[in-house]
Amino acid sequence: MDPQRLRPEVRKTITSIPRLPFGIRPLIPLAKFIFNAMAGSKIADDVQVDKVKEDGVDMLVYSSKTQSSDAAVVWMFGGGHLAGKPEHMAAIASSIVHRTGARVFVPRYRLAPKYPFPADLDDCWCCWSWVVSHADELGISLEKLAVGGNSAGGGLAASLAQRICDAGGPQPVAQILFYPMLDDRIAADRSLDEVDNFIWRNSANHVAWGAYLAPHQPGAAKLPEYASAARRKDLSKLAPAWIGFGDLDLFATEDAEYADRLKRAGIECEALCVSGVPHAFEAIVPNVDVSKSFVKSAMDFLAGRFDAA
């Protein structure tokens, strides 16, 4: 892909990012090691981090040192279902805490290929269920809960919202999806391998989905429920959604289509497509205006839903 298509303010940093070998399955451990070393983010000084590890739940909790709120967000980290950890979410968690005061619960979910679907979704479900069951003692309102995530974590958040909808009980007031990984059928289109996308290419996407869905293959005629969020036929009754992505992202088409389907199903959905930026741009180049505006849009939507509740 031509670097001139990138916005000037992100071009130098984006083009300097090394190509991680997620597209070669034997090299996944190496790619995971490098990704985990690179993907850290800085926590704000006025945000504290606590650990919860009980009843099969393992997560980090980000909260404000100076303000209180009865809202909460369960947020899933990204990494193609193959890498990542809750500590990487310090920056976005800090943004949520600053804008809304909400506590942010980030599960340390299991990863493919060792633990394929539904291991990670089950872990995220356990986290959600723990927050709901402990809401009274935590001072959390069951009417002010949200889910969110970035990349593979965004796909998990979308699937979690679907599972919560079907299970009944307290429902999220919002799902905040940063460039979510929603549709395995994109990975099955091997003609997309020829497009040299920045950051995340379809060759890596195909390996990641294959590891995650095992023993199923990307594009299989039928998959287990919630394995690929875009496969769900009925999107009615789901939580209001904010979906943001760049037009140079491999996921741009699937994200835009999911947003359109939510709207057609009668779900409030705000979709933000940013021109000239690739996957995960706001995490890689956080201090430029386009990244700040992207995050602000999501935070404003989330705060609005909490206020409405």
pLDDT tens-digit readout, 183-195 = 999 999 999 999 9
pLDDT tens-digit readout, 95-135 = 999 999 999 999 999 999 999 999 999 999 999 999 999 99
How sure is the predictor about 19, in pLDDT bands with cuts at 50, 70 and 90? confident
pLDDT above 70 as % of the chain: 100
Structural domain count, the chain: 1
How many Cβ atoms sit within 10 Å of the Cβ of residue 88? 23
How sure is the predictor about 40, in pLDDT bands with cuts at 50, 70 and 90? confident
How sure is the predictor about 272, in pLDDT bands with cuts at 50, 70 and 90? very high
Residue 75 DSSP SS3:
strand
Distance, CA of 218 to CA of 221 (rounded, Å): 9
pLDDT tens-digit readout, 123-176 = 999 999 999 999 999 999 999 999 999 999 999 999 999 999 999 999 999 999
Distance, CA of 274 to CA of 290 (rounded, Å): 8
Backbone phi and psi for residue 60, each to the nearest 5 degrees, phi listed first: -100, 145
Is the per-residue pLDDT at 18 higher than 90? no
Say if CB 84 and CB 20 are below 8 A apart. Answer: no
Percent composition of the chain: helix, strand, coil (DSSP 3-state, to 5):
45, 15, 40
Which residue from 245, 241, 247, 246 is spatially nearest to 263, judged by alpha carbons?
Answer: 241
pLDDT of the residue at 180: 98
CATH of the domain at 79: 3.40.50.1820
Which residue from 258, 118, 58, 283 is spatially nearest to 175, judged by alpha carbons?
Answer: 258
Is the per-residue pLDDT at 56 higher than 90? no
107: containing domain: 3-308
Distance, CA of 172 to CA of 182 (rounded, Å): 19
Distance, CA of 89 to CA of 208 (rounded, Å): 21
